[in-house]
């Protein structure tokens, strides 16, 4: 038994008892209410699900298992996965065990490449990634064991599926990149490298300590963002029907292909590059200020500024910004991102209509990817997906362990709402 599985096996009985006792004693206690505005507005702010892997506090940002994300920026993605699942950072021995486990599962089945090769040459890389994951559903341990295992064993089978997906997803994603953008033949994984560094290796990017560090940071910062975002919520809903991890994760990642969830960083980078093109390089502070006002006065937004939940600078932006200042401060793309950070909040505050004038993670992430050689914008969502799979799968395993019920909120009609409010 691996160190991770052993630790979960020790923790899960206590977690089950804790939840059982909580529901028994406080099951009828009201913790939220919903307004008409929320019912029509995507249920934003309605407290109706539980996620213990991470929370997003409006005044603090992302907190993973009680640890603010800025305290985790030097950690490896594998350490974050262990933390998401168990609530503890791994010991050196536990980390090594997890890395070996993931590495042993790295081979993507040959039939996956056959399917992807049969897709149209101009297929979106996200469609290729999701197809690759979904077509591997035949490998599901959960599906194979479902009819014969007890409910208390569901988490174990789900963990096996999760580790298989995570072991293969970097190789799959890298293969999609090289196939879709004609970068040459696939590059085999290098077992001596950690998860993030190996991804860089298989992508075929320049293999430097800086590039490795950038990729590790990216994978850490996008790993989880509580349970209500589109990708995590979709994965949870599909998984609650006891669909296996391949079905659930593929469904969740499809949400990341939407412009309102997963495409923001490429839109932000596109804006930064347009600024540079318009001014023939990094603009002056006045030029950028005037351009921001021009955007707002025409009814547009400043890409990367504002967040549905946060009311402070997104700490994930801070992490990327700090990395950029250290490693690529002279890059025109980063310099423009930095100048925008100085200019945009002032303009938005003076404009007065933005609830949050501060940058979110997408305002800075694309500039770093671009600097280190990933210049194919449609692929950025695939990178996001590789990282977010850690959070979605962690939540799925925990929900299997706790026996979380199938998701089934009650819907009402517009006529019912009118009747209730007397309209």
Query: Catalytic site residues?
Result: 261, 307, 362
Partners of 55 in the beta sheet? Answer: 63
Nearest CA among 19, 83, 88 for reference residue 50: 19
Distance set, CA 371 to CA 171, 293, 331 (Å):
22, 28, 7
Helix (H, G, I), strand (E, B) or coil at 64: strand
Helix (H, G, I), strand (E, B) or coil at 135: helix
Partners of 68 in the beta sheet? Answer: 63
Looking at residue 1, its pLDDT comes to 61
Place of tokens 């502070």: 285
Place of tokens 């999609």: 176
- Token representation of residue 70: 């800025």
Specify whether the CB–CB gap between 184 and 178 falls below 8 A: yes
| Sequence-distant (≥ 6) Cβ neighbours of residue 383 within 8 angstroms | 173, 218, 222, 369, 374
- Rg of the Cα atoms in the chain: 22
Tally of CB atoms within 10 A around 43: 15
Nearest CA among 393, 401, 395, 400 for reference residue 16: 401
As separate numbers, helices (DSSP H) first and strands (DSSP E) second, the chain gives: 19, 3
Q: What is the mean pLDDT of each run of 10 residues along the chain (423 residues)?
A: 90 96 96 94 92 95 98 98 98 97 97 98 97 98 97 98 98 98 97 97 98 98 96 97 98 90 86 96 97 95 86 95 97 97 96 88 94 95 97 98 96 95 89
Looking at residue 66, its pLDDT comes to 97
Helix (H, G, I), strand (E, B) or coil at 296: helix
How far apart are the C-alpha atoms of 178 and 172, rounded to whole Å? 10
Alpha helices (H) along 298-413: 315-327, 332-351, 362-371, 380-402
Helix (H, G, I), strand (E, B) or coil at 334: helix
What are the domain boundaries of the chain? 264-371
Kindly indicate whether the domain formed by 264-371 is annotated with CATH number 3.40.50.720.
Answer: no
Place of tokens 């594998």: 78
**DSSP-based helix, strand, coil % in the chain, nearest 5:** 60, 5, 35
Specify whether the CB–CB gap between 246 and 138 falls below 8 A: no
The sign of the CA dihedral 248, 251, 256, 261 is: negative
Please give the full DSSP string across 22-59, using - where no structure is assigned. HHHHHTT-------HHHHHTTTTT-------SEEEETT
Looking at residue 257, its pLDDT comes to 87
Looking at residue 327, its pLDDT comes to 97
Nearest CA among 100, 73, 79 for reference residue 193: 100
Instruction: Enter the pTM of the model.
Output: 0.96
Report the C-alpha dihedral over residues 265, 271, 272, 277, rounded to 10 degrees: 150
Specify whether the CB–CB gap between 259 and 360 falls below 8 A: no
Specify whether the CB–CB gap between 109 and 136 falls below 8 A: yes
């Amino acid at each position: 038994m691996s160190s991770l599985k052993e630790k979960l096996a020790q923790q899960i009985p206590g977690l089950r008892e804790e939840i059982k006792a909580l529901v028994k004693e406080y099951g009828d206690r009201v913790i939220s209410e919903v307004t008409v505005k929320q019912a029509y507005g995507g249920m934003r702010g309605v407290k109706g699900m539980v996620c213990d892997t991470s929370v997003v506090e409006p005044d603090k940002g992302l907190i993973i298992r009680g640890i603010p994300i800025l305290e985790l920026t030097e950690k490896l993605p594998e350490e974050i996965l262990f933390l998401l699942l168990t609530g503890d950072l791994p010991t050196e021995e536990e980390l090594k065990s997890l890395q070996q486990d993931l590495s042993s599962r790295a081979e993507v089945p040959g039939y996956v490449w056959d399917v992807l090769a049969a897709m149209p040459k101009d297929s979106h890389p996200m469609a290729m990634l999701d197809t690759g994951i979904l077509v591997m559903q035949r490998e599901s341990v959960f599906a194979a064991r479902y009819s014969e295992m007890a409910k208390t064993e569901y988490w174990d089978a789900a963990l096996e599926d999760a580790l298989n997906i995570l072991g293969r997803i970097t190789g799959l994603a890298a293969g999609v990149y090289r196939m879709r953008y004609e970068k040459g033949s696939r590059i085999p994984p290098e077992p001596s490298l950690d998860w993030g560094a190996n991804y860089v290796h298989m992508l075929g990017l320049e293999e430097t300590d800086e590039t490795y560090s950038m990729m590790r940071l990216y994978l850490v910062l996008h790993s989880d963002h509580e349970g209500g975002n589109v990708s995590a919520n979709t994965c949870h809903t599909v998984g609650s029907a006891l669909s296996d991890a391949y079905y659930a994760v593929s469904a969740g990642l499809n949400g990341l292909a939407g412009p309102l969830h997963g495409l923001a960083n490429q839109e932000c980078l596109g804006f930064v590059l347009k600024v540079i093109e318009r001014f023939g390089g990094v603009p002056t502070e006045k030029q950028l200020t005037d351009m921001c006002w021009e955007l707002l006065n025409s009814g547009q937004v400043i890409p990367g500024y504002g967040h549905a939940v946060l009311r402070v600078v997104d700490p994930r932006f801070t992490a990327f910004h700090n990395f950029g200042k250290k490693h690529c401060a002279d890059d025109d793309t980063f310099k423009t991102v930095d100048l925008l950070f100085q200019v945009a909040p002032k303009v938005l505050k003076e404009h007065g209509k933005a609830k949050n004038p501060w940058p979110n993670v997408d305002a800075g992430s694309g500039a770093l990817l671009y600097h280190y050689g990933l210049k194919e914008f449609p692929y950025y969502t695939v990178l996001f997906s590789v990282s977010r799979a850690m959070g979605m799968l962690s939540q799925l395993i925990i929900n299997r362990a706790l026996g979380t019920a199938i998701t089934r909120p009650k819907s009402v009609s517009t006529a019912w709402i009118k009747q209730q409010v007397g309209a």
